[in-house]
Amino acid sequence: MRQLAALRDELDGWRKLRQRLSDAYDLAMLEDESLSAELEQESEAIGKEIEQSEVYARLSGAYDHNDALLAIHAGAGGTDSQDWAEMLQRMYLRWAELNGFETEVLDTSEGEEAGIKSVTIAVNGRYAYGYLRSEKGVHRLVRLSPFDAAHRRHTSFALVEVLPQVEDEATIEINPNDLRIDTYRSAGAGGQNVQKNDTAVRITHLPTGIVVTCQNERSQSQNRENALRVLRSRLLEIKQKEMDDHLQELRGEFQKVEWGSQIRSYVLHPYQMVKDHRTGYETGATQAVLNGEINDFIQAYLNAQSGEKTGKAG
């Protein structure tokens, strides 16, 4: 029923766009100069809607329409990388806010001195996964470290994972006998926020060894539900990877993906630039990017993917 509703919404959008084009054409045929300003405004609005529809047309993957789970992990670099992971968290939360997506922080592991070691965020809204899958990979930051007494230049890394949230539980069946569920007291900043009960949940999937934790909710049942949601998405990722590996084996192709292969670099010193190494797209507006304005990077990635599929250069 959810798929049917989504298809109806998409068809309604195309029908409304077709009607607007027809109405604008009829007005243009009247050749009334008093309508020129109105026609110009409507033409621009239709153009923007067509551009957005083209983006939706590129989001045709099996799970592109799904909600997403976004996980950020600090890499090598100590406190600097943990601070960088928190900067990325803020960037994606701002992006979601700017683009009308709802977010929920499911689990956070704080850094010892500053920043975060890891965070898992649920991003909910139409095509959330389709947009965010372009962000999956290693993100590299170059800057003058605020944590270095000598104020030297440091390079930090953070890994961004993006998973589709599984809407249909039948897609990924989890045997309760395959789970070890532990509860513990949530970590807090102290004072009134310290949890006195074991509300945090750690779930270990015994067959795969996957460990998922959730502690941001005050209810143990809510944390357990969120942890299962994350586990289901991670199991789906494994299932997809097995299918991809099988297809690559049939094609006789293999492409190695490693931690060190960063997808994007954010340089704040000695010059200002953010560059995506997959598409070549770059901008000097570093603060705008860190404030969540990453749609141009997402668009460039989707364009490159479309070019690859059609045999054109990305």
Task: Look up residue 273 and give its two tokens.
Answer: 């630039």
Cβ–Cβ < 8 Å for 75, 158:
yes
Helices (H) and strands (E) in the chain, counts: 7, 11
Give pLDDT tens digits along the chain (314 positions): 767 877 788 788 889 889 999 988 888 888 888 888 888 888 888 888 887 777 777 787 888 988 999 999 998 778 999 999 999 999 999 999 999 999 999 999 998 889 999 999 999 998 999 999 999 999 999 999 998 888 889 999 999 999 998 866 656 888 999 999 998 887 654 444 445 467 899 999 999 999 999 988 778 899 999 999 899 999 988 888 877 665 555 544 433 334 557 899 999 999 999 999 999 999 999 999 999 999 999 999 998 887 654 333 33
> If we measure between CA atoms, which residue out of 180, 181, 179, 221 comes closest to residue 199?
221
In a domain, 63, yes or no: no
Q: Fill in the amino acid letter for 50.
A: I
In a domain, 35, yes or no: yes
In a domain, 154, yes or no: yes
In a domain, 15, yes or no: yes
17 and 92 in a common domain: no
Contacts of 107 (CB under 8 A, 6+ apart): 118, 119, 120, 213, 214, 215, 216, 226, 230
Q: Which of 206, 223, 251 is the last residue of a domain?
A: 251
**Cα–Cα distances in angstroms (integers) from residue 186 to residues 107, 225, 228, in the given order:** 10, 16, 17
pLDDT value of residue 201 = 93
Where residue 278 sits, what CATH number does that domain have?
A: 3.30.70.1660
181 and 40 in a common domain: no
In a domain, 184, yes or no: yes
191 and 42 in a common domain: no
In a domain, 192, yes or no: yes
102 and 37 in a common domain: no
> If we measure between CA atoms, which residue out of 274, 292, 287, 289 comes closest to residue 95?
292
Q: What total of structural domains would you count in the chain?
A: 3
Where residue 205 sits, what CATH number does that domain have?
A: 3.30.160.20
175 and 156 in a common domain: no
pLDDT value of residue 312 = 36
97 and 52 in a common domain: no
DSSP 273-300: EEEETTT--EES-HHHHHTT--HHHHHH
Cβ–Cβ < 8 Å for 91, 84:
no
**Tokens 């989890």 label which residue?**
174
pLDDT value of residue 117 = 94
87 and 148 in a common domain: yes
In a domain, 314, yes or no: no
pLDDT value of residue 310 = 35
279 and 160 in a common domain: yes
246 and 190 in a common domain: yes
In a domain, 85, yes or no: yes
81 and 132 in a common domain: yes
Q: Which of 58, 79, 105 is the last residue of a domain?
A: 58
272 and 152 in a common domain: yes
Residue-range definition of the domain harbouring residue 228: 170-251
21 and 161 in a common domain: no
